[in-house]
Structure 1
Amino acid sequence: MSIKRNSAADLQSVSGDIEGNETTPLLTNGTVQIKAKGASFAISVFNLMNAIMGSGILGLAYAMANTGIVGFSLLLVLVSSLAAYSIHLLLKLCDQTGINSYEDLGERALQKPGKVLVGIAIIIQNIGAMSSYLFILKSELPAAIDSLLSPGSTGHAWYEDGRLLLIIITLCIVLPLSMSPKIGFLGYTSGVALFFMLYFVIVVVVKKWSIACPLPHNVTTLSGPFQISNSSDSECTPKLFVISSKSGFAIPTMAFSFLCHTTILPIYCELDRPTKAKMQNITNVVISLSFLLYLISALFGYLTFYAHVDSELLLGYDRYLPKDIMVMVVRLTILLSVLLTVPLIHFPARKAVILILFGGRPFSWLIHIIATLIILGVVLLLALFVPDIRNVFGVVGSTTSTCLLFIFPGIFYLKINTGPLRSFDSIGAVLLVIFGFIMGIISFSIIVITWARES
């Protein structure tokens, strides 16, 4: 059964007519189709929150230290607002065209090259993100487990081999979760991951009063003695505004922390009775909650370590509270949260591969399984054998993330929308594209300059 889509009112009417059969209209290529009951509002919120909140939360306190409390807050408001606005443009295009795929929007706007361009950007971005997440697990998980099971032990247990542990986790956890053909199924694991993030924020707030400032000059960590640079009372005064060469990393860090655009449309597609208003409400709730958690964790992390905050916040707690049970548990839960995010990021990457290679071919388990295995195989190999994956994918992220978050939504709206160019959304789309190009060039340049100075 399919019904031509004419307006949001028609969509609501169809939804009401079929409500008793637990079916819901689905927007696909300009038509309304009937499908089984989809994901609930709560499940969709959990999935989108998990897509947004990854390891990026660990770097926001460092960004605040290099921009100041007020400067960071203003930038966080700006980036979160632009992220929400770009999602609004994508959902508005979906509502106008009936298209529910980021790649298909690219094709509508820029023909076949647009579809391929978006697909490649999604694949590169998500493979890079998954590889960096698994790389973090390979590096940090053995030490986290060891600190919980036998603090101070110098033995050589099997779980201290990061590569072996990563292979086992990928085969036993990541692969089975990634095999699901529906993203709504991952809402349950996303709920667990969200709980872990909430615990992390609580620990950051509580431990603010466990580490005195000025910070001690000599501390003993699990890996041995460590000495920091001189810390004085003057450094225990929070800065409202800070401008330095490191401030340039703040906006890219925030932008990557709010990137969820590759999962927005799959979540919208599987939503129970999908409408633009309903998905917009989900987005507003998620962006607001993410903003709040980001701000709280960054503020209390900064007020704990001030100028000595690490680029990865947990390193500071490992240094000054190495045997604190809450710190050891939160270290493990953050890693588990990152682990549960990998299958969610895998979903749009696999979808992009299948769309580019096989077009609109009906669902095939064979193609689905092969694509899943190949993508996870590439990701696992990168995580296992690339020695410094963060810098490599830092460049990839500063380019593809900027395109997916700012540039593509703005360009697609300007190309597809038939309204006047002087409308609010059209002007907003132009500004979004300009901001995206400027931010991408600045962040890429900073990374290249940093590499040049270090070499």
Structure 2
Amino acid sequence: MEASWGSVNAERGWYVSAQQPEEAEAEELSPLLSNELHRQRSPGVSFGLSVFNLMNAIMGSGILGLAYIMANTGILGFSFLLLTVALLASYSVHLLLSMCIQTAVTSYEDLGLFAFGLPGKVVVAGTIIIQNIGAMSSYLLIIKTEFPAAIAEFLTGDYSRYWYLDGQTLLIIICVGIVFPLALLPKIGFLGYTSSLSFFFMMFFALVVIIKKWSIPCPLTLNYVEKCFQISNATDDCKPKLFHFSKESAYALPTMAFSFLCHTSILPIYCELQSPSKKRMQNVTNTAIALSFLIYFISALFGYLTFYDKVESELLKGYSKYLPHDVVVMTVKLCILFAVLLTVPLIHFPARKAVMMMFFSNFPFSWIRHFLITLALNIIIVLLAIYVPDIRNVFGVVGASTSTCLIFIFPGLFYLKLSREDFLSWKKFGAFVLLVFGILVGNFSLALIIFDWINK
């Protein structure tokens, strides 16, 4: 935003409503924030549509990696960890909304500016850039691996040597011909409507995972498996594990954090909410996170109960190998690819905005700068998608670093910095716990992932 209240107040050292009691803050907007919301807002978005928009922000490629996580944590272990991350994500939004009311800031970057000045803004913007690059590269990885397989399922005979079955070639063509031109547009509102289909595609995906549980037999037979699979006819392979921990379990919490990240969208959705209040927006968040949790858990559970220990790190790969010409699987695969294709250009926009805020916030709009930044982002994500061998690496590294910062570390740290409450208050103690949890989980998971890479 061009001249937010947060930047003005930060320069003056003025904390809005800092001396107001927490009880009054819980229900009422500060006068400055109320004016800011009314200045930016149209008539407002209803509660239901706000929940829908936030679920679109939450749900993405992470849904394809959760069955693999369940296979490496067990059903009960996975359930406990996923519920913990969902609850902590909801609580961190609660802290963000409290700070939003105190400071009248309506963007995550300006909240960092308000808390720690220019360095805080740069760190938040840099974190958002890395997070969005990781998200876009994970989407392109899906295109690289699944698009050739989707085309091959419509063909008969051996076409393996043709260019249109080469994932890297298709990826470059799609990025040059579709993603880059759409990302170049100064406004991309129309894609916001079409990308809303991604939510229904995720619902369809979860439904197909449930149905296809009974289409793939266990123990696995050679009729369903390509030679790259290790086959065992032991019935022990078909027994679900309640708890299971291995070196692959290091990817669990980072992948879950990656899957629940929506915090950069919270404040914009808050600004557009009809009759905005902290309580109303918290209810929107709780509803969206609860519904996302339900869809995540169902798809992970039935995906795991289909493949057990043979589940792939990207769930669609398993269906491609076991049911290569199944019409329903082919349909859901095309739906997911369509959703991914339309979502990548949208994620370009917050990433490019963060770059602008970091380096060019005082410069007027320039088409040359706009073009070059978009091109640079596109090149980076294509290179990552080409050279990163497995989608779980993206989930692990990005989830352990930037996702934990945006969900756990920054909300806790900023609240400890901005709040004038006593440190022994429950809310400030909760912020401290959130901060410590984020630091421990992020560093521990990242260390284990790097150690796993070294051993391989």
- Report TM bin, short chain: 0.7 to 0.9
- Identify the residue that residue 426 of structure 1 maps to in structure 2: 428
2:313 is aligned with 1:311: yes
- Identify the residue that residue 291 of structure 1 maps to in structure 2: 293
The aligned amino acid for 1:349 is: A
- Identify the residue that residue 20 of structure 1 maps to in structure 2: none
**In the TM superposition, what whole-angstrom CA distance separates every residue of 1:386-418 from its partner, at most 9, and x where no partner exists?**
354754774344212211121111000100111
Q: 1:131 aligns with which of 129, 133, 137?
A: 137
Q: 1:59 aligns with which of 58, 62, 65?
A: 65
Alpha carbons 1:201, 1:297 under 8 Å: kept: yes
Q: 2:95 aligns with which of 86, 89, 93?
A: 89
Q: 2:241 aligns with which of 239, 245, 251?
A: 239
**Structure with more of its chain in strand, by fraction:** 1
Distance 1:316 1:389 in 2: 14
Alpha carbons 1:109, 1:412 under 8 Å: kept: yes
- Identify the residue that residue 100 of structure 1 maps to in structure 2: 106
Q: What SS class does the counterpart of residue 223 from structure 2 fall into?
A: strand
Q: Which sits farther off after the overlay, 317-326 or 365-374?
A: 365-374
Q: What SS class does the counterpart of residue 139 from structure 2 fall into?
A: helix
Distance 2:115 2:380 in 1: 31
Distance 1:182 1:263 in 2: 17
Alpha carbons 1:59, 1:311 under 8 Å: kept: yes
Q: 1:49 aligns with which of 40, 46, 55?
A: 55
The aligned amino acid for 1:194 is: F
Q: 1:117 and 1:282, CA in 2 relative to 1: closer, same or farther beyond 3 A?
A: same
Q: Which sits farther off after the overlay, 83-92 or 268-277?
A: 268-277
Distance 2:26 2:374 in 1: 35
Aligned length: 436
2:350 is aligned with 1:348: yes
Alpha carbons 1:68, 1:242 under 8 Å: kept: yes
Alpha carbons 1:46, 1:190 under 8 Å: kept: no
Alpha carbons 1:143, 1:160 under 8 Å: kept: yes
TM-score, normalised via structure 2 length: 0.85
Q: 1:35 and 1:344, CA in 2 relative to 1: closer, same or farther beyond 3 A?
A: same
- Identify the residue that residue 121 of structure 1 maps to in structure 2: 127
Distance 1:233 1:285 in 2: 40
Q: 1:143 aligns with which of 140, 149, 156?
A: 149
Distance 1:418 1:242 in 2: 43
Distance 2:110 2:102 in 1: 13
Alpha carbons 2:56, 2:198 under 8 Å: kept: yes
Distance 1:301 1:393 in 2: 18
- Identify the residue that residue 303 of structure 2 maps to in structure 1: 301
Q: 1:174 aligns with which of 168, 179, 187?
A: 179
Alpha carbons 1:38, 1:272 under 8 Å: kept: yes
Distance 1:236 1:402 in 2: 34
The aligned amino acid for 1:338 is: V
Flag structure 1 segments of 5+ consecutive residues without an equivalent.
16-23
TM-score, normalised via structure 1 length: 0.85
The aligned amino acid for 2:215 is: S
Flag structure 2 segments of 5+ consecutive residues without an equivalent.
10-15, 18-24
Q: 1:196 aligns with which of 190, 198, 201?
A: 201
Q: What SS class does the counterpart of residue 239 from structure 1 fall into?
A: coil
